[in-house]
Structure 1
Amino acid sequence: MPKRFYRIWSAAAASALGDGIYFAALPLLALTYTHNPILLGALEACALLPWLCFGMIGGALVDRWDRRRTMAVADLCRFSLLLLVTVLVTAGAADIYLLFAAAFLLGIGQVFFDTASVAFLPEVLEDRDLAVLQRANARLQGTQQALGGFVGPPTGSLLFGLGRSVPILADALSFLASSLTIWTLPKTPPKPAKPRGSLLREAREGASYLFHHRLLMGLALRPAIGNFAFMAGNAVLVLFVKETLHLGTTAYGVYLTADAIGALIGASISSKAAAKVGTGTALTLTAGLETLSLLTIGLAPNAWVAGGGELALGVGIGVTMGLGPAVRQAIVPDELMGRVGATGRLIALGTGPLGAVFGGWLAHVYGLRTPFIVGGCILATMTAVVARLTNNARIEAALAEAAARRELEDAAAALETPAETVAA
């Protein structure tokens, strides 16, 4: 890996630690304001709504802007926002609606940061080889899960015991560290000047490219179905753990690490699994594993069984996150990377708010186990989708097509090189 990758890796590690702290602390903070499961589901939805509102426009802007600068500024803005929230919580001026606003604004920052980071990774690696991209994504995903899911949540629970605003401040500082680390990366060469149309037109170009590509549609639909099911359970997870599994605040933070440990394991074996059975087959197998895992959590008689389900669920998600983005990075043209990535994330995450509200309603009407059981049944449909749209044969054909396109582009660029440059 080039040296620049390790700076991106360090920035991701700092931000992931803060996110893990925030992930555990935000529901605990919300519980000090309300125990209404519908409001808790709405809070989860607010964090994902920006993808519905700004996702495609954000992708078009990322393809216009310098991706390194976009990432740094996005994290600097998120630092400033959480610093303000820390002050308001400390002063006793916060309520559940302030958390709604903060979650929404943080989500806007996530739109720009995540879209830019996925598009920027191939530039950092200077390589579109699928195996290299899979290893890089696996390292990033593994680090994010280790710190964001394993270290962060129990730390967040402990910090919350010191004061309601302490974990929020810790997350703010993580964004500051991430932003400063990204600023140390060398500046990327400016992009060639091209005629620009409207942002909406450019966004539609990225969407059209994805919608007409069956493999990319499959890679987007897989997490779309999954996120609807996952968010249905996540919306009421804090209530489920406390009232159904009868765990305390500290144990809640520890419970959250089961998913993270599984995701860390999944990320570490993702590239090996792809080499063994093929990327498409690995994606299909993990879809089935996630289905069984969510059903296990919903039907678990005790916290140990539920934790085992969370562990297996994390393995499936870890493998998926190590393989799926790498395929898209390997086959999408660089000039469309931001827009196609944002459209894919819009499809994938756009179902999350609906799932969160649906899960809150299910829990309110039918009980806290219901969102997990219904979510597991929904995930069963995902397995069939993945098996048809993202199989090995389709992935190999797309990689061959992308390699041929890049060869033609390189040949065309060589023909356009001025004669004096070639002589030099």
Structure 2
Amino acid sequence: MSDLRSPMPTDFRRIWSASGISALGDGIYTSALPLLALSLTHNAVLLGAVEACALLPWLCFGLVGGALVDRWDRRRVMWLADLGRFALLVAVGTAVALGAADIRLVLAAAFLLGIGQIFFDTASVAYLPELLGRDADALQRANSRLQGTQRVLEGFVGPPTGSFLFTLGRSVPIVADAVSFLFSSLVIRSLPRTPPKPARPHRPILKDAREGAAHLFRNRLLLGLSLRPAIGNFAFLGISAILALYVHETLHLGTAAYGIFLTTEAVGGLAGTALAGRLTARLGTGGTLTLTALVEAVALLGIGLSANAWFAGAGFVVLGAAMGATMVLGPSIRQAIVPDELMGRVTAAARLLALSAGPLGALFGGWLATVAGLRAPFFFGAGILGVMVLVAARLTSNSRIDAALAEAAAARQATAPEPVAASEPAAASEPAAASA
């Protein structure tokens, strides 16, 4: 295990800075794209389609993208993906500035940006273990910093910045997001080249993709780590679907309070990313994952029972903290134990599982609130997260995680290059040592 106080390598700081600027651009994009779409149409179906187009690429190409990332140089994939997104947004910004944009262009841009996100996100998750030598402690610290920075810039700074830039001109936030991708691409381009991948027999891409998904579902620890965000997304998006209505009709607050509630969850998430390491030092990674599942369930139950806005807001802070810690620990363990040749495919399969559960949860939450009241999605979410406490305690226990880390370390040692043979002068000294 590495020293938690040891400094991170310089190359990680480059990734960190690139990720931060890119997260700021994503925050700008998150608020600017819906505003751009709204300026082009008031058709609710088309506005919803813009959001769907950002998710659709993961459902269609997520597993294939993971398989391609495992075949290609990951550093190259990252900087080319961001360079492509830069070029796309420059084209969109130019069309908007010239008055030539319509809703079809926005839909196409959202879809193509989603494809770029598949390649960049999958490659970056797979590249980080290469950079940090698959050290679990270093990966945890790295993910904590990346998640914390992302929450601040994408969650707090980016959206209001995007809204402000939009008031200066519809194309201004689009160009600002493009510049963030260009910066990220140039920084990642400066990273050291990765060693060439060993030659592998040519196989159909779909067979490679299925191999990654099969590896995830066969490994109980990986399956447990992937079920957490999947079940969480089902529960949380079921709540998000009716949150604005809940804040208005149950807590009797105005529209501005809805934004404040979203901010409280983000504040909690930032605290959770910072506390993940301390909790792990005391409880172990498995114990912390079990604790966060319990805290999420209790927080949702408390929010659902509360008629007081202050208590509900405090519940969202606690909920966000538990989610933030989970989002640091789960990926760190997966990055430490998955073989390098499968990292992209397993990452894509886990991401697809998590993302697929979200829309189902949103639909179910909306239906449940209609038939059983606005508090019902909170109670149901607390119930299924309560079940996740038992799943986490069994599938992601400390003993299972420790065994997986030891097995992964042994496998890497077994496949490490043989030490260089002793030189002739050293060999010549052996008789003298023996005669002594």
CA contact under 8 A between 1:115 and 1:341: conserved in structure 2? yes
Q: CA RMSD in A?
A: 3.2
Residue identity matched to 1:146: V
**Is residue 178 of structure 1 aligned with residue 184 of structure 2?**
yes
Matches for 1:72-111 after TM superposition, within 5 Å? 72-88=79-95, 91=99, 93-95=101-103, 99-111=106-118
**Is residue 7 of structure 1 aligned with residue 14 of structure 2?**
yes
Residue matched to 1:326 = 332
CA 1:215–1:3 in 2, change beyond 3 Å: closer, same or farther? Answer: same
CA contact under 8 A between 1:67 and 1:116: conserved in structure 2? yes
Deviates more, 1:334-343 or 1:346-355: 346-355
The aligned length equals: 415
CA 1:117–1:145 in 2, change beyond 3 Å: closer, same or farther? Answer: same
**Is residue 159 of structure 1 aligned with residue 160 of structure 2?**
no
Residue matched to 2:23 = 16
CA contact under 8 A between 2:148 and 2:273: conserved in structure 1? yes
User: Displacement of 1:265 after TM fit?
Assistant: 0.9
**Cα deviation per residue 1:28-65 (whole Å; 9 max; x = unaligned)?**
556664585x7766554432232221111111100111
- Structure 1 residue ranges without an equivalent (≥5): none
The equivalent position to 2:68 in structure 1, one of 61, 66, 69, is: 61
CA contact under 8 A between 1:135 and 1:271: conserved in structure 2? yes
CA contact under 8 A between 2:92 and 2:101: conserved in structure 1? no
CA contact under 8 A between 2:143 and 2:332: conserved in structure 1? yes
Helix, strand or coil for the counterpart of 1:278? helix
User: Displacement of 1:294 after TM fit?
Assistant: 3.7
**Cα deviation per residue 1:152-178 (whole Å; 9 max; x = unaligned)?**
233334334445544343333222221
The equivalent position to 1:145 in structure 2, one of 145, 151, 175, is: 151
- Structure 2 residue ranges without an equivalent (≥5): 1-7, 427-436
Residue identity matched to 1:15: S
The CA distance in 2 between the partners of 1:242 and 1:74, in whole Å, is 41
CA contact under 8 A between 1:68 and 1:182: conserved in structure 2? yes
The equivalent position to 1:134 in structure 2, one of 140, 146, 149, is: 140
Helix, strand or coil for the counterpart of 1:188? coil
Output the TM-score relative to the length of structure 1: 0.86
CA 1:156–1:382 in 2, change beyond 3 Å: closer, same or farther? Answer: farther
Structure scoring higher RCO (CA < 8 A, sep ≥ 6) equals 1
CA contact under 8 A between 2:25 and 2:154: conserved in structure 1? yes
**Is residue 120 of structure 1 aligned with residue 124 of structure 2?**
no
CA 1:378–1:28 in 2, change beyond 3 Å: closer, same or farther? Answer: farther
CA contact under 8 A between 1:149 and 1:261: conserved in structure 2? no
User: Displacement of 1:290 after TM fit?
Assistant: 2.1
The CA distance in 2 between the partners of 1:351 and 1:52, in whole Å, is 11
Identity level (%): 63
Residue identity matched to 2:13: Y
CA 1:151–1:310 in 2, change beyond 3 Å: closer, same or farther? Answer: farther
Residue identity matched to 1:322: V
Residue matched to 1:262 = 268
Residue identity matched to 1:281: G
The CA distance in 2 between the partners of 1:242 and 1:166, in whole Å, is 33
Residue matched to 2:254 = 246
CA 1:206–1:273 in 2, change beyond 3 Å: closer, same or farther? Answer: same
Residue matched to 1:389 = 395
**Cα deviation per residue 1:340-397 (whole Å; 9 max; x = unaligned)?**
1111112122222333444455567777766555444443333332222111111111
**Cα deviation per residue 1:297-348 (whole Å; 9 max; x = unaligned)?**
5565465444333322221121011111111111111111111111111212
Residue matched to 1:187 = 193
Residue matched to 1:71 = 78
CA contact under 8 A between 2:286 and 2:396: conserved in structure 1? yes
Instruction: Give 1 or 2 for the bigger CA radius of gyration.
Output: 2
Residue identity matched to 2:14: R
Residue matched to 1:52 = 59
Helix, strand or coil for the counterpart of 2:255? coil
The CA distance in 1 between the partners of 2:378 and 2:168, in whole Å, is 32
The CA distance in 2 between the partners of 1:376 and 1:39, in whole Å, is 33
Residue identity matched to 2:156: F
Output the TM-score relative to the length of structure 2: 0.83
The equivalent position to 2:215 in structure 1, one of 206, 209, 212, is: 209
User: Displacement of 1:212 after TM fit?
Assistant: 1.1
The CA distance in 1 between the partners of 2:108 and 2:371, in whole Å, is 27
